[in-house]
Amino acid sequence: MRYENEAIYVRLLELGDAESLLSLRLRNHEFLKPFEPTRPSEYFTLEGQQLDIEQGVRGAEADQSYIFGVFLSEPNELIGRVALTGIARGPFQNVNLGYLMGQAHNGKGYTTAAVRMVVTFAFTELNLHRIQAGVMPRNTASKRVLEKVGFRNEGLAIKYLRINSQWEDHILYALTQED
């Protein structure tokens, strides 16, 4: 499965992407650190990224999660990641959305385009009803992405996630098929 526009495409990450994913993570470690959970040093190795991708592949096979790479069409470079995790079926039909973009590619509309593509996948291919995302209040760029895609602000969750070794408040956003 592949979704694309003239500048980027998204597809599920594969084991062959591990070196590119590691390079993306290492180049952007300090940039992403304020917005991500603290991870063990093993995560930032080739084996750690292979394990992350393997878990993503198993998650897709089990219809529990789908991990996409965001690639520049030219020169076919991995520049970001969009994840659908924690799929709940039954009466909920819900998923959590998370994403990251390398610092050099921020502010160019790539994240918004990639999130739109993955939202389309979630609603049309997975037939989910609701997509939700949490964003720290100070992360204005991420809030802007969600608002451009049409997500609505549903309120503030106090001490919601442990990010960079601290419990952080998050604004909860959601989008449903009816939206």
Instruction: Say yes or no to pLDDT of 18 above 90.
Output: yes
- Interior angle at CA 105, CA 104 and CA 111, nearest 5: 150
- The amino acid that residue 122 corresponds to is A
Q: Where are the domains of the chain?
A: 2-176
Supply 176's token pair: 């449903």
What are 125-161's pLDDT values in tens digits? Answer: 999 999 999 999 999 999 999 999 999 999 999 999 9
pLDDT at 168 over 90: yes
CA 139 to chain centre: 15
pLDDT of amino acid 57: 96
The whole-number pLDDT of residue 154 equals: 97
Task: Please give the average per-residue pLDDT across 54-80, as a whole number.
Answer: 96
The answer to whether residue 165 scores a pLDDT higher than 90 is no
Residue 122's H or E segment, with its range, is helix 110-124
Give dist(CA 64, CA 87) in Å, integer: 5
One CATH from 3.40.630.30, 3.30.1330.60, 2.40.50.140, 3.90.25.10 for 2-176: 3.40.630.30
70-121 pLDDT, tens digit each: 999 999 999 999 999 999 999 999 999 999 999 999 999 999 999 999 999 9
In sequence order, what DSSP letters do the residues of 140-157 get, joined into one string?
A: HHHHHHHHHHT-EEEEEE
What token pair was written down for 146? 């969600």
Other beta carbons within 10 Å of 85: 14
For residue 70, give the nearest of 33, 35, 105, 34 by alpha carbon: 105
